[in-house]
Structure 1
Amino acid sequence: MGKQPSRPMIRIAESLHCHIPGVRASAQRWLVGDDIDRLAGEKHLQHLVTSQVANGADFLDVNVDNFFTMEGIGYDGARQVLAHILDLIAEHGGGVPPCVDSSDPSMLEFGLRHYHEKLGGERTPLVNSVTVNRLEALEMRQDLRFAVVGMLLEKAGDDAATGFTDIADASVYHETAKQIFEAARAAGFEAGDVFFDPTVGPLGADMVGYTKRTFEGIKMIRDDADMAGSHVVLGLSNCSDGLPRRLAINRAYLRVAMEYGVDAAICDVGQISGKDLVDGKILKLIRKIATGESMDALTLLVDYAQSQRRAPKAASRQTEFDDPFGRALADPDGDPVFMLELAPAEGGLDEIFAIAEEVRDEDYIFTITDTPGGNRTPGPDTLAVEVARISGRQPIMNLSCKSDDRNALIRRALALYHQGLHHFFAISGDYTNGGRPVFDLDAVSLSLALDTLRRGLNFPDLMPRPGGALEHLQIGAAVSPFKYSEADTWGQYLKVWKKRKAGANYLITQLGYDVAKFQELKMWMTRAGIGDMPVFPMVYFLTPQFLKVLNKVHVAGAVIPDELKKKYQGKLGPKDELKALRGMNFSEVADFHRKQSVRRAALQCHILLDGLKFRGIDLAGITQLDDARAVRDELASLSGRNWLESWEEFRDADGDRPMDFAPIEDAFYLFEHADNGLLREDSPIVSGNRSGYEPIDPKLKKLHARYFEEGKGLNGILKWMVGGCEDGAKLRWATQLEQATKSSKLGCEMCGDCRIPDLAYMCPEPTSGCAKRLLNGPCAGAALDGGCEVIPERRCYWGRVIEATLADGQMDGLFALQPPKDPTLAHTSSWRNDVEGRCPETLDLGKPPAEALPPR
């Protein structure tokens, strides 16, 4: 022994075997998961097919037996998985045949018939397996072509499989092989269609020399001229079980096995070829065991295992904090949740820590903002960990896309999660003041990125991640129902749908006071079928001081009606109240305003909790904890009161008429109003005045259809134009033509990953599109007149896109989730990238039911 044989190695890839946890998880995702799970499962299974074929697989082993006893799946589900994997092999396997692997003969026949009869497979698949006592599967050879694996771990006449240690003599392997070979030949198999598997046992359990006997049995089979042309196969996954450096052991084991005559291996063909360099010490160890030079194989293996370095035990640290918010999300009927929003500010951290200490015995949940307004403030990550440590509970961490790319955001989330913080609030974020804004992701794609971590997937390719699933991770998202044009309103609900489908667990609204708009959000979500998603409306503790700040600093997305401002400024109210106010001194005025702020916040909470049934309240604008306590005390005093009475008090202007909460004339609401100023629950969705909407450019639609629809029009010419080598003159000319055509018409920036067909043929890049590069819907920062948050004189990009699709009656297409752009494609031809399939594909996560869509 010791000479490498010339016999070519037959590689049977086991990476589609569902006993492997990652493969089983992906197959289960595809079978019973939601849209994202199904897509992720499909992509991983397809990758396993293509990668094993690329690494030289001769067969692709498929085993679904683990699903037989799995609740909710069983045999029917296992057949679906088997058929689907065989479909993937036929489509993406480059002609490599499958190895249908099962302990159930009916599953073997199902797989063979699916491959030959439904898929028209022309190659010879492999069946794994038969035994000397169960040879019925050989009869299928009469009408189905296949090769067969004969397991040698049974003795003729035995009712049960023989154990690894039960075969006392190598001749038993040889005799069993002869009986299987003769039966196969009689059934019409060629010698080369017969494989013998003596079954490898773990080296670490070799106490009675069965490894030596197995190799001797293999040599006896090889020396038998009557079985010339047959093959001997070993499954390598068992041999290194329980030992360190498994890959090195597998490679060495295969090298030794090939010296004895093994010419086929069931293995991960990307890691094992039979020709890899192997560790000489491990090779010597296995040869000693195989030849019996040392009868005490266990001693050799123990010495080997103990010689391997082990990492020291990590120091313990606190990574678990109480999670009352997680419990609240799991209990839709529980007590209302009260959040306190903490906004980090330089010089104000001690106050935040003091509040965290003071409420240890109260039930507030902290939300920690991430540089609102785009200003430079202390980062929230370290602050969040400290607040958790002081308060003893998990806060909600804001993650903003404005300053970090996808890698940085995921790194932050991973670091915080592994420090015991599981709640993240995914937002696009305000445009930065100074520095270069990033916006690599938007709130929707960030939600999806976090959700992939929770599912155990990488982002954005949706392949399994080595770190596994972050199962306790929870994702929040923002919404602003305070939009008063039809397009801007639909922009917010479009994103709510996408955020929910991308994995968001709950919503927090932005700053606003229009109760009808709060009601509108709840009504639309119910009609869209996502009414079970918890929503926490923001109740901002409004004061005259904050109104003065608003006069100097623009807060994107904040909507405070003019009449409400006058209320807080002492300019609107009953005449006797205003008269009394004018006679007060400074201290009395301050006390009056504080009581008014507390009362109005409590009234709003009462309406939202008792009337509209929101899950809790996000108390914002609180600088003194006593203010929050006062609001809750006042709210408690309203217990038992009809919430409609609170609504009438809340909207009273001067004792004679109600306030107008709409900040502009002809404000758009999605539903018709009732007489009491709220919305009619039975109202259908209404449409706005669309006479001024610019429809999608028909010339661009026609041009795209002629060149980009596969196999139609001028699609062949386009493929010729962008074909050839990367630096060829033809491609350079085509790229220059693309840039000239799209730059003049659309303001193209040559991102290489064009999305205009999905976005009303309007480029989303900042030159003419969205200043934040948002691909899945608008931010909440657009002005009431529709102007962009960043460039006020320009109409919001998403407002234009939605107006165009509403004018064409084609808004349904906007509900698809746009993945982030591929930065490696920048400054290349998107025409070529599209033709070659390099651009990321949109995710179709469905759309709301018809009663939740805009009327045409």
Structure 2
Amino acid sequence: MSTGGCCEVPNRFRSALEQGEFVCTAELVLGRDHSAVEAEVFVKEASQQEHGIDAISLTDLPGGNPALPPEAFVACVLEHKLTPIAHLTGKDGNRLSLESRIHALARLGVENILALTGDAQKEGFAGQPKPVYDLDSVLILWLLRALRGGLEYNLGPKTARTTPFDFFAGAVVNPFKVREPDLMMQFYKLQLKVAAGAQYIITQLGYNLRKLYELKQYMAREGLGHIPVLANVYVPTAKIARLMQTGELAGCVVADELIQRLEREKKPQRLERAALMVAAVKDLGFAGAHIGGFGLTHKDFMTILEGAAAIGKNWRGRIDELVFPIPNEFYLLPQGGDGLSDGAGDYRISGVKPHASWAQRLSASVHGHLIREGSFGARLFAAKLKTRIMKTGGLPGKNSSWRHGLWYGLLEPATLYRKATLGCVSCGDCIQDHLNYAGCSMQGCYKELRNGPCGGSRVDGNCEARADLPCIWNLIYLGTLAMGDDPKKFAHVLIPPRDWCLDRTNALANRFAGLDNLCKRIDLGSPVEEGHPKETKPC
């Protein structure tokens, strides 16, 4: 790892994981101020400790609040000969901004990037900011994979390629979800993230060791046991735990019992529980511990690590201090005799087939007979529209002259139907067929995600940003089952980012003309070369 030639810092984080060592990372939350005095003090003290923290993890506007971005603080970490992990979220910048930030991190010599979709934005300067989410976590990983080998792009009449850079890309999963749809969609999206290029995983914070270990058991059974998983060990106060429970801090599951304990405890007891957790995850075969907590000093981190070393394998007699369940929560595996899940047990997916709505059944039927590739309707309209495109010299832009005439006009009622029954927002790049017509993720998802849910849904399955509405991806999971399809398809099919050339145009016409995402979807169950995909042609 180098910083533009100014200094050389070995990537301790990557080398330790690749050698099978247990790693400990510290998460620094960079606040809403350019000074970052407390973070600087932490880094300085960490640099003076020979055996302690293996990497410093730098957040990217956590909680949707304004903050110093990680690339602004990376130099401080590197100057102290420590290894940084830069978080990169898609909530505030489009794909151009994200690629530019990645190039900036490469320029600084940062290999370790943690790709996240990002929390819903909170109030900023002069009011509520505009959410972006042009790329979600899966697509950021896909971009990093392409840049790793060098991304080919058009440069006038010629093509060029970015300089390859050996990124070490990570992803996040939330294994603490309470309901079956939430949990299974998290697991499926995890598999998609690994297929898209994730080389290590850091979990969401949580306080149920059985749930946490069940993730590792699932990964082993699904052929992902080789992917390093770091357990998130977050030290909360009672106040922060209550914010987590109410959904103010997205995606966190906190039981009443834990809050009651925290209200009685002082800092030493909280650090002791964290040490117990670190000892447990090390003994259970996790690759490391990702430690964080508001106001923790470097001395607190070392107290946790020293406490974990002292506990060693003796954590099992205190498992009740690490399992704080939610009443009636869903577990994928049955409970074993040790209080954790039995990794050899059968999956406990309900198998109940929900009832499909009339709109879903009708839409799927019409799709099968008139829209699906090879159907009569698809052949007819494709021939007519492509002929008109050739005659008019049309291009796939929204003002193209081919978007007129009889055959294009015949498809306009389809847009009205989609708006009335499926919540269509006229993105022009529809994936309803992939979602089994269970709902529009562009309309029903605050973040307009196309490759599965974020990790922020609430305990009741409702949206992080719209607490009165269910997460659309939970409805898609149930709707997929209702149509007799397997939701596990979401674990391996990558949907490309939305093509904004098609905004506010007829999605069905775009499908028949071969302009939408259908031919760009990638089944990541098949081998994919580094450097893909090539940058798409401009409008």
- TM norm. shorter chain > 0.5: yes
Quick one: higher RCO (CA 8 Å, sep 6+), 1 or 2? Answer: 2
* Structure 1 residue 469: Cα displacement: 1.9
Cα distance in 2 for residues equivalent to 1:337 and 1:762: 42
Provide the rounded CA distance (Å) in 1 between the counterparts of 2:456 and 2:240. 19
- Contact 1:511–1:539 at 8 Å: present in 2 too? yes
RMSD: 2.4
Given that 1:735 and 1:828 are in contact with CA atoms closer than 8 Å, whether structure 2 keeps it comes out as no
Q: Describe the SS at the equivalent of 2:37.
A: helix
Match of 2:76 in 1: 386
The gaps in structure 2 that reach 5 residues or longer are: 123-127, 393-401, 527-539
Equivalent residue of 1:751, what SS?
coil
**Aligned residue in 1 for 2:523:** 844
Distance of 2:43 and 2:73 partners within structure 1: 11
| Alignment pair present for 1:511 and 2:511 | no
2 CA distance for matches of 1:550 and 1:799?
21
Instruction: Provide the rounded CA distance (Å) in 2 between the counterparts of 1:603 and 1:566.
Output: 19
Distance 1:566 1:414, change over 3 A: same
Residue 681 in structure 1 maps to residue 343 in structure 2 = yes
Residues 385 and 530 (structure 1), Cα distance of their counterparts in 2 relative to 1, 3 Å cut: same
User: Which one of 272, 287, 291 corresponds to residue 615 of structure 1?
Assistant: 287
Quote the residue 1:420 is aligned against.
109
Percent of residue pairs identical:
29
Give the structure 1 partner of residue 25 of structure 2.
339
Partner of 1:186: none
Alignment correspondent of 2:461 = 786
Contact 1:319 1:420 survives alignment (8 Å): no
Q: Which amino acid aligns with 1:414?
A: H
* Contact 2:30-2:36 within 8 A present in 1 as well: yes
- Aligned pair 1:752/2:396, yes or no? no
Q: 1:326 aligns with which of 14, 21, 26?
A: 14
1:513–1:560 CA contact under 8 A, matched in 2: yes
CA distance in 1, matches of 2:107, 2:167: 11
Residues paired across the two proteins, number: 493
CA distance in 2, matches of 1:515, 1:814: 26
Compute the TM-score of the two structures, normalised by the length of structure 2. Answer: 0.86
Q: Distance in 1 between matches of 2:352 and 2:288?
A: 36
How far, CA to CA, are the matches of 1:714 and 1:444 in structure 2? 33
Task: Indicate conservation of the 8 Å contact 2:378/2:512, yes or no.
Answer: no
What is the alpha-carbon distance in structure 1 between the residues aligned to residue 355 and residue 138 of structure 2? Answer: 26
Say whether the 8 Å CA contact 1:599–1:634 is kept in structure 2: yes
**C-alpha displacement of 1:721:** 6.3
Tell me, yes or no, if the aligned pair for 2:441 and 2:472 is still in contact at 8 Å: no
2:185 partner letter: G
Q: Aligned pair 1:825/2:502, yes or no?
A: yes
Q: 1:431 to 1:323 in 2, by over 3 A?
A: same
Alignment match of 1:629 (pick from 285, 291, 302) = 302
Measure, in 1, the Cα distance between the counterparts of 2:311 and 2:110. Answer: 35
Cα separation, 2, equivalents of 1:844 and 1:483: 27
Structure 1 CA distance, aligned partners of 2:434 and 2:275?
Answer: 44
1:596 shift after superposition: 0.9
Using the TM superposition, give the Cα deviation of residue 766 of structure 1 relative to its aligned residue in structure 2, in angstroms: 4.1
391, 397, 408: which one aligns with 2:86? 397
Q: Secondary structure at the match of 2:340?
A: coil
How many Å separate the matches in 1 of 2:507 and 2:329? 40
CA spacing shift, 1:393–1:459, aligned 2, 3 Å: farther
Deviation at 1:520, TM superposition (A): 0.9
Report Cα offsets for 1:575-609 as digits up to 9, x if no partner. Answer: xxxxxxxxxxxxxxxxx612211111111111111
Q: CA distance change for structure 1 residues 559 and 550 in 2, over 3 Å: closer, same or farther?
A: closer
2:333 is aligned with 1:671: yes
CA distance in 1, matches of 2:353, 2:339: 27
Report the alpha carbon displacement of residue 396 of structure 1 after superposing the two structures with TM: 0.3
Q: Distance in 2 between matches of 1:689 and 1:798?
A: 18
Q: Is the CA contact (8 Å cut-off) linking 1:601 and 1:631 kept in structure 2?
A: yes
Letter of the 2:454 partner, please give it.
Answer: C
- 2:39 equivalent in structure 1: 352
Cα distance in 2 for partners of 1:719, 1:636 equals 66
Give the superposition deviation at 1:777. Answer: 0.9
Per-residue displacement from partner, 1:299-327 (whole Å, max 9, x unpaired)?
Answer: xxxxxxxxxxxxxxxx9841532311121
CA distance in 1 between partners of 2:74 and 2:438 (Å): 40
Q: Give the whole-Å Cα distance in 1 for the aligned partners of 2:97 and 2:420.
A: 35
The equivalent residue for 1:375 is 65
The offset of 1:380, in angstroms, is: 2.1
Q: Which amino acid aligns with 1:524?
A: Y
Q: Cα–Cα, structure 1 residues 705 and 549, in superposed 2: closer, same or farther, change >3 Å?
A: closer
For 1:469 and 1:456, the matched residues in 2 are separated by 4
| CA deviation string 1:29-73 (max 9, x = no partner) | xxxxxxxxxxxxxxxxxxxxxxxxxxxxxxxxxxxxxxxxxxxxx
Task: State which drifts further: 826-835 or 393-402.
Answer: 826-835
1:5-404 pair list within 5 angstroms? 317-318=5-6, 320-332=8-20, 334=21, 336-347=22-33, 349-362=36-49, 363-364=52-53, 365-389=55-79, 391-404=80-93
Deviation for aligned residue 1:484: 1.5
- The residue type paired with residue 525 of structure 2 is G
Question: What residue identity is the alignment partner of 1:350?
Answer: V
3-state secondary structure, aligned to 1:555:
coil
